[in-house]
A and B are shown apart, each in its own frame.
Chain A
Amino acid sequence: MKPILTVEDLHVHFVSNSETTYAVNGLSIKLYSQEILGIVGESGSGKSVAVKSILGLLPETAQISGKIALGEERLDQLNSDRLRQIRGKEIAMIFQDPMTSLNPLFTISDQMTRVIERHLHLDKQGANELAELWLRRVGITDAKRRLNQYPHEFSGGMRQRVMIAMAMSLSPRVLIADEPTTALDVTIQKQILGLIRQMESEVQNSVILITHDLGVVANTCHRMVVMYGGMIMEQGNVSDVFSHPAHPYTQGLMDSLPSENNGRHLVPIPGQPAIATTEPKLCPFLDRCPKSISTCFQKMPVLTEIKQDHLVRCWLVEQGGNDETI
């Protein structure tokens, strides 16, 4: 099967006068049609930077190298006109905080129709009808009246629905949701994730869901990628990774999940994720890893397939298994 979106050997460095920050270090991701791919990791693991570089949304201080392709089209080599056509129309994104993603000075209708008119070449009335239709599809009642309201008249969950409606109204091939529920409370989170799943199956697009919540991944995604220090630590089908987490970092994330039935205490991962200011030569998780072996201090582990479509970057795996069944 051909992937819709391919990211190959992506490196993103932020260069300032005093130092260089290595945010993403050789990331490769393939996104296939009609799947929801979860990207998990702590804050600072490079998830948001990676997806923002797909759309070229990073500030100018970012140095990006690697291959990013939508279908056959290389996004990293596009001119700005074509990139603007792709933004929104082919790849749309939902941001973390729906409170700040809408301009408070314009009505919902203003903001939605302007985008629809430009990308789908509809007239004002057609755009308005489409906007209303999508508001209704994301579960906003009284859509006609709501369209003429300002963002402050919507609650957080409602605003995130508006954001989803806005993104989906252009029927993008890829929807990137960057921690779409972090700013929302848990019941709203459930509704929003349900909505994203429902949209995915109705419109048949692909979704990249960025989150630091493993529970969200388990409930929503088909495949998942665990990132740390700007690299993939583990990657595979959600069921495989959850039943046999092979990387100590993934295991650590699982252990720090609250669980209701086996009465274990939460086991946090000690330490904080470090920001790399030199090019990483060793496993970025080494400082915090409880299971490190001598090889870890010598060279960088490589991404190894331990089962079909289940890849892990860890020397323990090379050494003959670190399978820990939960």
Chain B
Amino acid sequence: MYLLKRFYKQPLSTKLAIVTLLILVMGAVAADLYPADPYKTNIANSLQSPSWSHPFGTDDLGRDYFARILHGGRATLTVGLLSMAISTLVGTTVGVISGYFGGTLDAILMRLVDLLMSIPSFFLILIANAYLKPGMQNIILIIGLFSWMGISRMVRSVTISIKEREYIQYAKMIGNSSKNIMLIHVLRNVAGTVWVAASIQVANAILMESALGYLGLGATQPTASWGSMLKKAQEYLGSHFYLAVFPGMLIVITVLCFNVIGNRMKEGEAQ
């Protein structure tokens, strides 16, 4: 009930973003309910235009494109959400510790962040990817572990302002350990910032995964992700443009939705 009320108060754009995302997530979760097999090839049936039996048509190997989009969405959203979870976890931990303790530890951690930030993370990810076995797990880990720096900086600055509050002093006075203060008081206060950063991080991770997939470094065949499908579609752009339109549009829509929600959260945070 409370959530519904909150939802009702949102502006139209946010409502649309939330609903669209819910539909996309449901599609990814329930992909198996769709009867067509995304891996079953049928060369005789290749490159068909959308029709009633194949809503999004078929690809070059005659696989049902709608089924592949659903499963690809599952892969893409999984990468987005899980790598967001990793980068948020690392970023928040580093940010809180760095901001709370300050001093030498802060200097070391923040220089590390500077170092990682000074190298374009896309190259880092490309290089790391080249050395590791391609696969979903590694993609998630690599994207997650190379994109926490921004979050940690934001969390650190909020932590620094929080730790000077009197109730933190008070918590210290009444005998709380630093660990307790960080886990209870600081974490609760940086939560807003973290949510905002996380929602935008999902969008970034999805873009990153798509880009990697497009470069052939993402999900391996026959697993589909929207990025790898986009790459495949490139070959048929002249004759069968819809093969590129569906995954491309879905990436754009998903990223846009996460960004709209992230921005709305930021506004709420600022008030």
Partners in one complex: yes
Chain A contacts to B: CB under 8 angstroms: 55, 57, 60, 84-89, 92-93, 95, 97, 100-106, 114-115, 118-119, 163, 166-167, 170
| Stretch of B44-52, B54-62, B163-171, B196-204 at the chain-chain interface | B163-171
> Is A105 within 8 A of B189, CB to CB?
yes
Q: What are 24 A-B interface contacts by the 8 Å CB criterion?
A: A57-B169, A57-B173, A60-B103, A85-B175, A86-B175, A87-B173, A87-B174, A87-B175, A88-B174, A88-B175, A93-B173, A95-B170, A95-B173, A100-B167, A101-B166, A101-B169, A101-B170, A103-B185, A104-B167, A105-B188, A106-B188, A115-B174, A115-B176, A166-B174
> Is A88 within 8 A of B173, CB to CB?
yes
The secondary structure that dominates the B interface is helix
Residues of A within 8 A of B165 (CB): 100
- C-alpha spacing A92/B153, complex, angstroms: 35
Does B22 count as interface, using CB distance less than 8 angstroms? no
Does B111 count as interface, using CB distance less than 8 angstroms? no
* Chain B residue, CB-CB nearest to A106: B188
* Chain A residue, CB-CB nearest to B174: A88
Residues of B within 8 A of A105 (CB): 188-189
| Number of A-B residue pairs with CB-CB distance less than 8 Å in the complex they form | 56
Most buried by B among A87, A103, A166: A103
Given contacts A84-B177, A89-B175, contact A95 B188 (CB under 8 A): no
- C-alpha spacing A101/B167, complex, angstroms: 4
Known: A57-B169, A166-B174. 7 other contacts (CB 8 A): A87-B173, A87-B175, A93-B173, A95-B166, A105-B188, A106-B188, A115-B176
Interface residues on B, range: 10 to 19
User: Per a CB cutoff under 8 Å, which of A93, A103, A170 touches B167?
Assistant: A103
Residues of B within 8 A of A166 (CB): 174
Most buried by A among B170, B177, B189: B170
> Is B172 within 8 A of A87, CB to CB?
yes
Does B108 count as interface, using CB distance less than 8 angstroms? no
Q: Tell me the minimal C-beta distance from A316 to chain B in angstroms.
A: 39
